[in-house]
Structure 1
Amino acid sequence: MYDYVIVGAGSAGCVLAARLSEDPDVKVCLIEAGPADTSGNIHVPAGAAKLFRTELDWDYDSHTEPFCEGRRIYLPRGRVLGGTSSLNGMIYIRGNRRDYDSWSLPGWSHDELLPYFKRAEDNEWGASEYHGAGGPLAVSDGRSHNPMSEAFIKATAEAGYSHNPDFNGETQDGFGYYQVTQRDGMRCSSAVAYLHPAMRRPNLTVETNVQVHRVTLSEGRATGIAGRRLEEDVEIRAEREVILAAGAYNSPQLLMLSGIGPAEQLGPLGIPVIVDQPLVGRNLQDHPQFWLVYAHSQPVSLLVAGEERYQRQYAEERSGPLASNGPEAGGFLRSSEDLAQPDLQFTSLPVMFADGGLGFPTAHALSYGGYVLQPRSRGSVTLGSDDPTAKPRISHNYYADDTDLTTATAGVRAALDFARQTALAPYTEKPYSVPASDSDADIRDFLRRNTQTSYHAAGSCAMGKVTDGELRVLGVDGLRVVDASVMPTLISGNTNAPTIAIAEKAADLIRDVAPLPRDAVAAAAHHS
């Protein structure tokens, strides 16, 4: 018996386990379906691509995407301590303040969330109006310094866009280098930042290799979980709360397997309906992403990372190609001057990005592209079986709303303009994956055939629809969801930092403590 049982040791779950176990009078159990994060490819930043389709990946695919030529799109998700923060590109982005204000939920405005971003953050720049220092999550400048990344930034300036040294500062607009969640050139996942320092506490139990099958319920209240470790059935009870932190695909799946979801879907599968909740798994969102790839003859891509000199450089200095997070540079722009905020984000990779990240680079290349920041298209997560080990049926419905395709088309046209700039000339010698022309028809065809996930799934257990403003599941006592699935709409940027901030705030909601005042973190950092 534990006070709190947390399902999923990803970006949110590790935060919750660490924060809730700060109280020595409560017992916390954190459950992860995958193993411990011992793989070297997790901690050496450039090794992340080797983790796809391994035992550390849930290895999901979307169902056939009707507006993307019927393709099934690969959707990697971390199945390991740290979750997807152990596999991701480590970009530290909070989003735009308008994203949170548009939720119109008490307690969830940008100004109310900013203290939680700052409480989490340990930025090497130090504490400021926009940044925190001394928190668990290391935020640093990248250490790769690939010449293609610098050339990309120069090309955007030549194309007329401003330079932005801090996308989490006063404005998002412009281009520059991303800050990354690294400490001393190594990945700082949520497990590294939060969980490992907390695991020495006697009141925190971490269970790995346990796949949760359902939440156990009694008289309208969550009482624990039932699952399986290898060939052994496992049941773990929660006296206070069960908290699902399994992500935008697995959290709604677990709710439905537990009888909380659309009755019209659960009934035919033979799952007893506890709460008829038709919105569980609905409202799924992602940023549809496109990549332009150019091969060239310059021996500077990440293909050189395995050379002895670069291995030695990383071992001695924690810098060079092996320190690359992949998307080293990028930025934000508005496809129309009358927009209130950027609607496109770009990233640049100093390597050939092939087959959705599954293909092996065959030549030195530059890959860069963008994604639609406020997509209107909505998808869903549903069950394909009552077997809890079966993968959920995921449909993102990319470009179901043609407005998204129009915005992406503007993004491709901007990306093609970057390639025409002088700074990128050495790295755009041979178009490898680009539209046939810059006509709307050819660009739209290119997008339908090449769009990939941005790995930013969210919204499938949204506040105001499936959960309330304190992340409690509607219709059930003692059950919350704390992960990216609770976002009513996607934030404008990468989702790791916002998910961590949501979990920081959720920990206070669960502990029923007063919210952080806006200046609390800055004052504490200044005092220390």
Structure 2
Amino acid sequence: MLQILVSWKLFSIFLILANLGVFQFGQSETAPNYSFVEESTSAPPISYYDYIIVGGGTAGCPLAATLSESANVLVLERGGSPYVIKPTTKTDQVNFLTAVLDASLAQPFISEDGVLSHRARVLGGGTVFNAGFYSHAETEFVREAGLDESLVNDSYRWVEKKLVFEPPVLQWQSAVRDGLLEAGVLPYNGFTYDHIYGTKIGASIFDKDGHRHSAADLLEYANPNNIKVYLHATVPKILLTTGSRPKAEGVIFEDAKGIKHKALLKDSKSEIIVAAGAMGSPQLLMLSGVGPANQLEPLGIDVVIDQPMVGQGMADNPLNGLIIPSPLPVEISLVSLVGITQSGNYIEAGSGLNLAPSWIGWISNNLANFLNQTVKFNNIGSTLNTRLKGGIIIEKVKGPISKGNLELKSTNPNDTPKVKFNYFQAPEDLRKCVQGMETVINIVNSKAFSIFRYEIMSTQDLLNLVAALPLNLRPRHLNTAISLEQFCIDTVMTLWHYHGGCQVGKVVDQNYRVLGVDGLRVIDGSTFNFSPGTNPQATVMMLGRYMGVRILQDRHS
């Protein structure tokens, strides 16, 4: 029990520090009234559909809305609705931490690397509690994926009409922007969706009033007569025929009461599409008998196809950064800009850290110790206002080259699989992190950012502060804050941009069909060889729309 409590405490700290408490949670003020969204307990024992989508997340929602234009669609989401939440998790900034720690919305796990993370468990997926930043993929991603550029642009616009906005750039963000330019992250590209070198303002899924919009809002595009969404519907298995050429026939799903239901495909044109994310999609393939035989057989899973590449190529973009207490008040700001460096880093920032009172006290007390000063930082926070006066500047490594793998823990679909990302296993990734941290330090030392710096605090003091925080479960070293290499290794965190496990060319083909199985596709971030753009949500939503259009074109051709 103590270990669980410690893990939860560390996980809480991680979420606070990774997001600064600045990202609002949940839904827009006016929630859509979806007549087609129901609890899975209302599902009939057997039903039939043209398309069955497992996962109503970032890719699943736009995919389902598109397919429903001219086909009968079922969405099975293991979580609940983002529009029906407790008052304590209402969509405001003050309640951010309470919202993210609601286990019904985000399932925490710890990677085998000792890094704390979570996976979405709500309609709308990670867009319901991510940082909100919206930016297109680089041209390289579109080209390597073999996507039609015209349809890609149309699909982005389809998403943007519903839930994308230009964010405000207030004092903290402006100082970071100008600091990036001083640090040589040039040119300044202004506001743009495009992924181009230099410093730019990106878009956001938060509107001008600060209310979050999510992929679930894209279901407003759906034909309500052609779609059914079941909540709290857990899929333990895809039903596959056996033989020389297996075919998907349907799925079994369990409702909140543990009662099993069947959803079956209507005809030979019908398909099952897995959109359960980088963790859930390879997990479900394995549970269904498509995966490495040497892993499945010991768990008693009947092997339909021995596919050793399922669960391989798992990667996560490592994140490191500095927390900067400020002598001046700071606004609560979302990530609204990014520096895209030539060295392979993305630099982002936020302000208005929302901490528990005990942690405000910890930082306030320990700042003096780190500085070997008797100075009291009474204005860092108070028992009445637990929002830290300051913010964070982070760097994320592009790529990365380092890869890991995912394995089942059990046959229980509710258990998060074992996953190892092998952060910084490749020396090139570590070199990029050091360069990224050097850029962060240059921003902090810039003239533009000086108004948000305590003169008595050096960047080494800031490194010491971060190095002392229990950001993950990895071992600490004496030289953590002396060597930037060791700092990167010891203080690595995640921005939840993990990908891989069902990669194109290894598990699925370029049309996202599972190799060796008819009537089965995977469409989500698990198919990526690298995370698109600075933040992947725009491209994942685009891909859902894109493939929905392509599938309908094929169906009617």
C-alpha distance after superposition, 1:492-524 (max 9, x if no partner): 321101111211221123213499xxxxxxxxx
- Map 1:47-126; keep pairs closer than 5 Å: 48-65=96-113, 72-101=114-143, 103=144, 105=145, 107-108=146-147, 113-122=152-161
* CA deviation after TM superposition for structure 1 residue 440, in Å: 9.9
Give 1:130's aligned residue: none
Match of 2:176 in 1: 152
User: Contact 1:294 / 1:365 at 8 angstroms: preserved in 2?
Assistant: yes
Is the CA contact (8 Å cut-off) linking 1:62 and 1:395 kept in structure 2?
no
Partner of 2:346: 345
- In the alignment, residue 490 of structure 2 is paired with which amino acid? R
Whole-Å Cα distance in 2 between the matches of residues 91 and 174 of structure 1? 17
| 412-421 or 182-191: bigger deviation | 182-191
Alignment of 1:39-50 (within 5 A): 39=85, 41=89, 43-44=91-92, 48-50=96-98
Taking a change above 3 Å as real, the CA distance of residues 298 and 55 of structure 1, as seen in their structure-2 partners, is same
Q: Secondary structure at the match of 1:458?
A: coil
Encode CA deviations 1:424-478: one digit per residue, 9 max, x unaligned. 1222224674269999961111111211112111121111110011111111111
The residue number in structure 1 matching 2:58 is 11
Query: Structure 1 112/359 Cα, relative in aligned 2: closer, same or farther at 3 Å?
Result: farther
The residue type equivalent to 1:434 in the other structure is L
Unaligned runs of 5+ in 1: 66-71, 123-136, 303-323, 336-342, 516-528
Deviation at 1:12, TM superposition (A): 0.8
Tell me the distance in 2 between the aligned counterparts of 1:467 and 1:46.
Answer: 42
Matched, 1:434 2:457: no
Aligned twin of 1:260: 290
Partner of 1:191: 216
How many residues of Structure 1 are paired with residues of Structure 2 in the alignment? Answer: 455
Q: Does 1:180 align with 2:181?
A: no
Aligned to 1:394: 419
Offset of residue 392 of structure 1: 0.9
Superimposed CA distance per residue, residues 80-117 of structure 1 (whole angstroms, 9 cap, x where no aligned partner): 1111111111111112112332x2x5x32656633332
2:539 equivalent to 1:498: yes
Q: Distance in 2 between matches of 1:228 and 1:80?
A: 16
Once the two structures are TM-superposed, the CA of residue 157 in structure 1 deviates from its matched residue by 2.2
Question: Using the alignment, how far apart are the partners of 1:440 and 1:434 within structure 2?
Answer: 5
Give how far 1:400 is off: 1.1
The separation in 1 between residues aligned to 2:72 and 2:150, in whole angstroms, is: 32
1:214 aligned residue? 237
1:35 alignment counterpart: 80
CA shift in 2, pair 1:46/1:486, >3 Å: farther
2-structure distance, mates of 1:249, 1:439: 31
Q: 3-state SS of the aligned residue for 2:515?
A: coil
Do 2:115 and 2:494's aligned partners in 1 also have CA atoms closer than 8 Å? yes
2:486 paired residue among 425, 445, 454: 445
The gaps in structure 2 that reach 5 residues or longer are 1-47, 361-385, 468-478
> Residue 384 of structure 1 contacts residue 391 of structure 1 at CA under 8 Å; is this kept in 2?
yes
**1:230 is matched with which residue?**
256
Range 47-56 or range 76-85, more displaced: 47-56
Q: Distance in 2 between matches of 1:140 and 1:157?
A: 24
The answer to whether the Cα contact below 8 Å between 2:123 and 2:216 also exists between their aligned partners in 1 is: yes
Contact 1:56 1:78 (8 Å CA) reproduced: no
Two-structure CA RMSD over aligned residues (Å): 2.7
Q: Percent identity?
A: 27
Contact in 2 for aligned 1:468/1:474 (Cα 8 Å): yes
Instruction: Give yes or no for contact 1:85–1:189 (8 Å, CA) kept in 2.
Output: yes
- Tell me the secondary structure at the aligned position of residue 6 of structure 1: strand
- 2:49 pairs with 1:2: yes
2:312 alignment partner, SS class: coil
CA distance in structure 2 between the aligned counterparts of 1:478 and 1:224, rounded to whole angstroms = 10
For 1:22, the aligned partner's letter is: E
Give the alignment partner of residue 273 of structure 1, picking from 287, 303, 313.
303
Matched-pair contact (CA < 8 Å) for 2:349–2:393:
yes
For the 8 Å contact 2:192–2:201, the answer to whether it is kept is no
CA distance in 2, matches of 1:112, 1:206: 26
* Per-residue deviation, 1:75: 1.8
2:316–2:498 CA contact under 8 A, matched in 1: yes
Equivalent position amino acid for 1:424 in 2? F
Q: Is the Cα–Cα contact under 8 Å of residues 435 and 442 in structure 1 kept in the other structure?
A: no
Q: How does 1:473-488 map to 2 (within 5 A)?
A: 473-488=514-529
The CA deviation at 1:167 is 4.4
Aligned to 1:468: 509
CA shift digits 1:231-264 (9 cap, x unpaired): 2222222221111011000000000011100001
Q: Secondary structure at the match of 1:182?
A: coil
Contact 1:82-1:191 at 8 Å conserved across structures = yes
Q: Distance in 2 between matches of 1:351 and 1:497?
A: 25
Question: Is the partner of 1:77 in helix, strand or coil?
Answer: strand
1:297-312 correspondence runs (5 A): 297-302=327-332
CA-to-partner distance for each residue in 1:105-132, whole Å, 9 max, x for gaps?
Answer: 5x3265663333234332xxxxxxxxxx
SS in 2 for 1:140: coil
Question: Distance between the aligned counterparts of 1:241 and 1:376, measured in 2?
Answer: 33
**Mapped pair 1:285 → 2:312:** no
| Deviation digits for residues 369-422 of structure 1 (CA, Å, limit 9, x no counterpart) | 111112100122210112222221111111111110011101101111111112
Aligned partners of 2:97 and 2:504: how far apart in 1? 33
- The residue number in structure 1 matching 2:433 is 408
TM-score of the pair, normalised by structure 2: 0.76
Q: Is the Cα–Cα contact under 8 Å of residues 353 and 359 in structure 1 kept in the other structure?
A: no
Q: Distance in 2 between matches of 1:352 and 1:428?
A: 16
CA drift of 1:51 comes to: 2.7
The answer on whether the counterparts of 2:80 and 2:105 sit within 8 Å (CA) in structure 1 is no
Change (3 A) 1:246 1:42: farther
Distance 1:229 1:477, change over 3 A: same
Deviates more, 1:478-487 or 1:232-241: 232-241
* Corresponding residue number in structure 1 for 2:23: none
Question: Which residue does 1:333 correspond to in 2?
Answer: 341
